[in-house]
Amino acid sequence: MRAALAVVSVVLLAGSGAVVYKNFQSDWQSTQKSYFKQALVQVKTPAERAALEARQPRIEQTIVTAFGTQRVDRCESCHIAADDPKFAAGKEPLRAHPYSSAMGDVFKNGRWERRHKFTDFGCTACHDGQGRGLDTEDAHGVASEWPEPLLGYVVQADWDKNASKHLRDKDFIEANCVQCHTDKNFTGAAWVNRGRDLYFSKGCFGCHKIEGLSSGSLGAELTAEGTLRKVDFLWAHTVNPRDFTPTSIMPQFKLSNDELKALTIFLKSLRGKTNAEAPTDRYKMDVSTTPPVPLSVAEVDAQFKAASTPAARGEQLLHGYACISCHKLSDQDGGISPDLSYEGLIRDHDWLMAHFRDPKSRIPDSNMPAFGLPDADFNDMSAFLLTRTTQPPAMTPAETFKTLCARCHGENGDGKGTSAIYLDPAPRNLTNAEFLISKPESRFLTSIRQGVGGTSMPPWGKVLNDDQIKGVFDYIATNFAHQQRHEIKPRKVPDTNPVAFSPASAARGQAIFLQRCIGCHGRKADGKGPNSVDISPRPRNLRNSAFINSVGDRRLMESILYGIEGTPMPSWIDYGLSQDEVGDIVNFIRSLNTGTATKAQASASNTGGTNGSINN
Amino acid sequence: MSTTTEKKPSVVKSVVDLPKNVVRSIFRNPLPSSDRGRAATSFTNLFLHIQPVRVSKRALKPSYTMGLGLISLFLFGILTVTGILLMFYYVPSTEMAYNRMLDLRSSVAFGVILRNMHRWAAHAMVAVVFLHMCRVFFTGAYKQPREFNWLVGVVLFLLTLFSSFTGYLLPWDQLAFWAITVGTSIAGYAPFIGKALKFILLGDVTVGQEALLRFYVLHVVVLPLVLTLFVAVHFWRIRKDGGLAKPEEEKKQTAQVVTGAEAATTAVPVTTTVVTTASPARRFAIQGLVRGPFVKVGKLEEDTVYSWPSLLIAELFVLVLTIVGILVVSFYFNAPLEHPVNVMHPPNPAKAPWYFLGLQEQVSYSAFWGGVGVPAIELLLLVLLPYFDRSKKGIGRWFARERFLANSVFLTFVVINIILIVIGTFFRGANWEFVNPF
Amino acid sequence: MEAGSKTAECEANKMPRRDFLAWLSGAGVVGSALAGLVATFFFMKPRVTFGQPNRFLIGKPDDFPAGSRLAIDTKRICIVRDGERMAAISTTCTHLGCIVAPSATGFLCPCHGSQYDVDGNVTGGPAPKALAWYSVSLTPSGELEVDKDNEVQMGTYLNV
| Cis geometry, peptide bond prior to residue C140 (ω within 30 degrees of 0) | no
Residue type present at position A357: R
The answer to whether the CB atoms of C140 and A83 lie below 8 A apart is yes
Q: What is the mean pLDDT of residues A233-257?
A: 84
Angstrom distance (rounded) from CA A562 to CA C88? 99
The answer to whether the CB atoms of B88 and C44 lie below 8 A apart is yes
Residue type present at position A147: P
Alpha helices in B203-245 (DSSP H): 209-217, 223-240
Chains in contact with A, counting 3 or more C-beta pairs less than 8 Å apart as contact: B, C
A227 → chain B, closest CA residue: B342
Could you report the per-residue pLDDT of A530-558, keeping only the tens digit for each?
Answer: 888 778 888 999 988 889 988 888 899 99
The answer to whether the CB atoms of C1 and B280 lie below 8 A apart is yes
Option in B105, B173, B321 nearest A8 (CB): B321
Burial-class residue A489 by CB neighbours within 10 Å (0-12, 13-18, 19+).
exposed
Could you report the per-residue pLDDT of A416-446, keeping only the tens digit for each?
Answer: 888 888 888 889 999 888 888 888 888 899 9
Best residue in B102, B308, B431 to probe A by mutation, most A CBs within 10 Å? B102
Could you report the per-residue pLDDT of A348-383, keeping only the tens digit for each?
Answer: 889 999 998 888 888 888 888 777 778 888 888 899
B82 → chain C, closest CA residue: C40
Beta bridge partners, C107, equal C102, C116
What is the number of other CB atoms lying within 10 angstroms of the CB of residue A504?
11
Beta bridge partners, C133, equal C89, C152
Burial-class residue A326 by CB neighbours within 10 Å (0-12, 13-18, 19+).
buried
> Is some CB atom of chain B closer than 8 A to the CB atom of C128?
no
Option in C25, C32, C43 nearest B109 (CB): C43
Q: What is the mean pLDDT of residues B58-84?
A: 90
How far, CA to CA in Å, does A523 sit from each of A363, A519, A577, A601, C124?
21, 8, 19, 26, 94
Share of residues in chain B with pLDDT > 90 (%): 36
Angstrom distance (rounded) from CA B91 to CA C3? 63
Option in B99, B310, B345 nearest A132 (CB): B99
Could you report the per-residue pLDDT of A265-321, keeping only the tens digit for each?
Answer: 999 999 877 776 644 444 444 444 333 343 344 555 555 566 678 888 888 888 777
How far, CA to CA in Å, does A152 sit from each of A118, A148, A393, B273?
19, 11, 53, 77
Q: Which residues of B touch C (CB under 8 A)?
A: 85, 88, 103, 107-111, 113-114, 280, 316, 320, 323
Q: What is the mean pLDDT of residues A471-479?
A: 89
Could you report the per-residue pLDDT of B295-310, keeping only the tens digit for each?
Answer: 444 455 567 788 778 8
- Does the pLDDT value for residue B325 go beyond 90? yes
- Band the pLDDT of B134: cuts 50, 70, 90: very high
> Is some CB atom of chain A closer than 8 A to the CB atom of B313?
yes
Shortest CA distance to A227 belongs to which of B173, B207, B345? B345
Distance of CA B395 to the CA centre of its chain: 22
Could you report the per-residue pLDDT of A123-152, keeping only the tens digit for each?
Answer: 998 999 999 999 888 899 888 778 889 998
The answer to whether the CB atoms of C141 and A85 lie below 8 A apart is yes
> Is some CB atom of chain A closer than 8 A to the CB atom of B210?
no
> Is some CB atom of chain A closer than 8 A to the CB atom of B328?
yes
Residue type present at position B115: R
Domains and CATH numbers, chain B: 59-246+307-389+400-432 (1.20.810.10), 256-300 (no CATH)
Shortest CA distance to C28 belongs to which of A522, A7, B10? A7
> Is some CB atom of chain B closer than 8 A to the CB atom of C8?
no
- Band the pLDDT of A607: cuts 50, 70, 90: very low
What pLDDT is recorded for position B276? 41
The answer to whether the CB atoms of C43 and B107 lie below 8 A apart is no
What pLDDT is recorded for position C9? 55
> Is some CB atom of chain B closer than 8 A to the CB atom of A445?
no
Angstrom distance (rounded) from CA B389 to CA B374? 21
What pLDDT is recorded for position A484? 77
Domains and CATH numbers, chain A: 25-137 (no CATH), 151-287 (1.10.760.10), 299-386 (1.10.760.10), 397-481 (1.10.760.10), 503-597 (1.10.760.10)
Option in B102, B109, B174 nearest A132 (CB): B102
Could you report the per-residue pLDDT of B369-394, keeping only the tens digit for each?
Answer: 887 888 889 999 999 988 888 887 87
Helix (H) or strand (E) holding C88: strand C85-90
What pLDDT is recorded for position B121? 96
Angstrom distance (rounded) from CA A527 to CA A516? 13
> Is some CB atom of chain B closer than 8 A to the CB atom of C1?
yes
Q: Which residues of A touch B59 (CB under 8 A)?
A: none
How far, CA to CA in Å, does B333 sit from each of B21, B113, B119, B120, B167?
47, 9, 11, 9, 19
Identify the residue with better confidence: A217 or A558: A558
- Band the pLDDT of A223: cuts 50, 70, 90: confident
Angstrom distance (rounded) from CA B372 to CA B364? 12
What is the number of other CB atoms lying within 10 angstroms of the CB of residue A535?
15
Q: Which residues of B touch C40 (CB under 8 A)?
A: 85, 110
What pLDDT is recorded for position A295? 38
Residue type present at position A78: C
The answer to whether the CB atoms of C47 and B111 lie below 8 A apart is no
Chains in contact with C, counting 3 or more C-beta pairs less than 8 Å apart as contact: A, B
Q: Which residues of C touch B330 (CB under 8 A)?
A: none
Could you report the per-residue pLDDT of B255-287, keeping only the tens digit for each?
Answer: 444 444 444 443 333 333 344 444 444 444 444
Option in C27, C39, C141 nearest A83 (CB): C141
- Band the pLDDT of B6: cuts 50, 70, 90: low
| Cis geometry, peptide bond prior to residue A251 (ω within 30 degrees of 0) | no
Identify the residue with better confidence: B398 or B263: B398
Angstrom distance (rounded) from CA A143 to CA A158? 9
What pLDDT is recorded for position A86? 86
The answer to whether the CB atoms of C42 and B111 lie below 8 A apart is no
The answer to whether the CB atoms of B110 and A23 lie below 8 A apart is yes
- Does the pLDDT value for residue A566 go beyond 90? no
Query: To the nearest whole angstrom, how far is the Cα of A346 from the nearest Cα of chain B?
Result: 46
Angstrom distance (rounded) from CA A550 to CA B231? 80
What pLDDT is recorded for position A438? 87
Q: Are B315 and B70 in contact (CB under 8 A)?
A: yes
Best residue in A7, A8, A13 to probe C by mutation, most C CBs within 10 Å? A13
Q: What contacts A215, CB < 8 A, 6 or more positions away?
A: A209, A372, A614
Option in B109, B280, B316 nearest C47 (CB): B109
The dihedrals phi and psi of C103, each to the nearest 5 degrees, come to -135, 180
Helix (H) or strand (E) holding C124: strand C122-124
Share of residues in chain B with pLDDT > 70 (%): 85
Q: Which residues of B touch C42 (CB under 8 A)?
A: 109-110
- ipTM > 0.85 (yes/no): no
> Is some CB atom of chain A closer than 8 A to the CB atom of B411?
no
The answer to whether the CB atoms of B110 and C42 lie below 8 A apart is yes
Residue type present at position A37: K
A61 → chain C, closest CA residue: C48
> Is some CB atom of chain A closer than 8 A to the CB atom of B102?
yes
Mean pLDDT, chain B, whole residue set: 82
What pLDDT is recorded for position B9? 62
Residue type present at position A431: T
What pLDDT is recorded for position A54? 82
Angstrom distance (rounded) from CA B29 to CA B42? 10
What pLDDT is recorded for position C11? 58
Identify the residue with better confidence: A273 or B22: B22
Angstrom distance (rounded) from CA A95 to CA A101? 19
What sign does the dihedral B223-B229-B233-B234 (CA atoms) show? positive
Torsion of CA B396, B397, B398, B403, to 10 degrees: -90
What pLDDT is recorded for position A298? 54
Query: To the nearest whole angstrom, how far is the Cα of C34 from the nearest Cα of chain A?
Result: 9
A72 → chain B, closest CA residue: B99
The answer to whether the CB atoms of C45 and B109 lie below 8 A apart is yes
What pLDDT is recorded for position A274? 73
The answer to whether the CB atoms of B324 and A12 lie below 8 A apart is yes
